[in-house]
């Protein structure tokens, strides 16, 4: 036990103290931030130059009112299109918008003409179309002499509110599904990333030990199994440290950026989103409130322990497999590709099932994925938000725990032979033989 602790300590400290750890820990949040800022900038930036557009509206459909768009400014003109074309050539206008007079209120399709040397951008075009379409509705309402407020009452916003059958079940609110899906996806992605990042870190470390030949010195002092477990636990602790630091650093750095540059990356993003979907800021605020309520309303006493359980088991299960593969690879790095493939395939499959499970948490695919032990570490956390029946959680956990123990044992058997095998080409046939080697 002392030896295991020493190994864990070394694996942890050498990594945490290394330059690459510091770089990746501090640069990743920065990279995220830069990414969000750039995305926000790209989404927020419609077009760079201002446009002056003359509007010709012989039927007075628009009633001389046009809301200016991003960088587009409208002026109503009484001149004819032909005269205005000359003005465009002379440079006083960038384009002419011609609104034809509708023949009757029953007209369902209208072509608005836009004369210009340069096309409108896609976004500008669709927001212009929306604006004019709405104005045509208003024009028709007025022409038909209808009451606008009555008409508006016709529109009905419908949301489906899930209700429990029995009283002891929790009452979900309508946005629970969306919040659950988001949280589930986030947890699934974290699982997926940590399996890959830290699993392959374990693999590389095993390979390094084998290739630098230190491993023979090591296992003359400790059991191979202790060495392998020490590595897996040590690297896992590095992963947890890194995640914790990220959780602290990401808000800190974004706060720092906000204060120093007076620039809020989240703001640009929500602005961009609001702009793209033309969401009313009031609606947005209400939505945020609802989401916050929903997040607080989640059964965190269930979610957090489950997530930790699946995180630990999933990480240990896969990293022990990575360790076994690392031990089997000789000096030929190319071999690692073909040997890691059988590990990466279930992880990738689980990742895709996770997305399906988030959309339909009670589908048979989702249920299977969250119980099958090679998929459950990634799929179950994404489903756990959606009131999974206890028997499924129990079965899934029991299967996962048993599989993890079995895989660690299996990996240990391959590992103890693999680390001392040099020059032998590691094939699956060879690995199978190693499992049954005597000590």
Partner 1 sequence: MNILSIKDVVKTYESKIAVNHVTFDIPEGIIYGMLGPNGAGKTSLIRIITTITRPDSGEILFNNERLNENHTSFIGYMPEERGLYKKMKVGEQLVYLAQLKGMSHKDAKSTIDGWFEKFDIKDWYNKKIMDLSKGMQQKVQFIATVMHRPKLIILDEPFSGLDPINANLIEDEILNLKKMGTSIIFSTHRMEQVEEICDRIVLINQGKNVLEGDVKEIKNTYKENLYNINFVGEIGDDLEKFGEIKEKTDQNVTMKCESPQKANDLLRWMIQNGALITSFNEILPTINNIFIRKVEGKI
The contact set with partner 1 (CB under 8 A) reads 3, 6-7, 10, 14, 18, 208-209, 212-223, 420, 422, 433, 438-439
Closer to partner 1 by CB, 68 or 331: give it.
Answer: 331
Q: Considering the complex, what minimum distance in angstroms separates the CB of residue 8 from partner 1?
A: 12
Closest C-alpha among 222, 235, 214, 217 to residue 323: 235
Rounded least distance, CB 9 to partner 1, Å? 9
Nearer to partner 1, 15 or 135 (CB): 15
Minimum distance from residue 351 beta carbon to partner 1 (Å):
33
Residue number with CB closer to partner 1 (94 or 209): 209
CA distance 308 to 243: 13
Q: How far is the CB of 224 from partner 1 (least distance, A)?
A: 8
95-98 and 51-56 strand pairing: parallel
State in angstroms the smallest separation of the CB of 417 from partner 1: 9
Name which of 6 and 16 has its Cβ closer to partner 1: 6
Q: 67 or 213, CB closer to partner 1?
A: 213
In the complex with partner 1, which residue's Cβ is closer, 166 or 438?
438
Q: How far is the CB of 13 from partner 1 (least distance, A)?
A: 9
Q: Which is nearer to partner 1, 218 or 302 (CB)?
A: 218
Beta carbon nearer to partner 1, 14 or 75: 14
- Report in angstroms how near the CB of residue 220 gets to partner 1 at its nearest: 4
In the complex, what is the shortest distance from the CB of residue 438 to partner 1, in angstroms, rounded to a whole number? 7
**Cβ nearer to partner 1, comparing 46 with 223:** 223
- Report the nearest approach of partner 1 to the CB of residue 300 (Å): 40
């Amino acid at each position: 036990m002392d030896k295991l602790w020493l190994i864990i300590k070394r694996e942890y400290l050498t990594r945490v103290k290394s330059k690459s750890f510091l770089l990746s820990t501090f640069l990743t949040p920065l990279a995220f931030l830069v990414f969000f800022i750039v995305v926000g900038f790209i989404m927020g930036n419609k077009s760079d130059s201002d446009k002056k557009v003359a509007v010709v509206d012989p039927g007075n459909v628009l009633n001389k009112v046009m809301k200016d768009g991003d960088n587009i400014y409208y002026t109503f003109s009484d001149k004819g299109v032909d005269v205005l074309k000359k003005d465009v050539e002379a440079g006083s206008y960038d384009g002419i918008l011609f609104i034809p007079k509708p023949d009757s209120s029953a007209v369902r399709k209208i072509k608005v003409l836009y004369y210009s040397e340069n096309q409108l951008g896609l976004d500008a075009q669709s927001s212009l179309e929306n604006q004019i379409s709405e104005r045509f509705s208003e024009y028709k309402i007025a022409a038909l002499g209808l009451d606008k407020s009555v008409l508006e009452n016709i529109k009905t916003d419908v949301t489906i509110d899930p209700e429990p059958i029995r009283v002891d079940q929790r009452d979900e609110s309508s946005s629970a599904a969306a919040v659950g899906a988001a949280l589930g996806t986030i947890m699934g992605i974290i699982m997926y990333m940590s399996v890959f990042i830290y699993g392959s870190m374990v693999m590389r470390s095993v390979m390094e030990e084998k290739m630098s030949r230190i491993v023979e010195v090591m296992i003359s002092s400790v059991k191979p199994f202790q060495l392998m477990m020490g590595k897996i636990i040590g690297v896992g602790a590095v992963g947890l440290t890194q995640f914790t630091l990220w959780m602290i650093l990401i808000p800190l750095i974004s706060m720092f950026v906000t204060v120093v540059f007076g620039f809020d990356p989240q703001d640009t993003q929500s602005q961009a989103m609001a702009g793209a979907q033309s969401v009313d800021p009031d609606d947005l605020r209400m939505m945020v409130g609802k989401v916050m309520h929903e997040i607080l309303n989640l059964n965190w006493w269930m979610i957090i322990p489950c997530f930790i359980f699946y995180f630990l088991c999933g990480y240990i299960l896969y990293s022990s497999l990575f360790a076994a593969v690392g031990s089997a690879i000789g000096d030929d790095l190319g071999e690692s590709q073909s040997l890691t493939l059988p590990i990466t395939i279930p992880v990738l499959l689980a990742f895709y099932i996770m997305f399906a499970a988030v959309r339909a948490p009670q589908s048979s695919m989702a249920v299977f994925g969250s119980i099958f032990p090679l998929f459950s570490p990634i799929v179950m956390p994404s489903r756990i938000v959606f009131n999974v029946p206890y028997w499924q959680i129990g079965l899934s956990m029991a299967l996962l725990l048993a599989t993890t123990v079995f895989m660690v044992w299996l990996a240990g058997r391959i590992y103890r032979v693999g680390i001392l095998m040099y020059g032998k080409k590691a094939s699956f046939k060879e690995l199978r033989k190693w499992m049954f080697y005597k000590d």
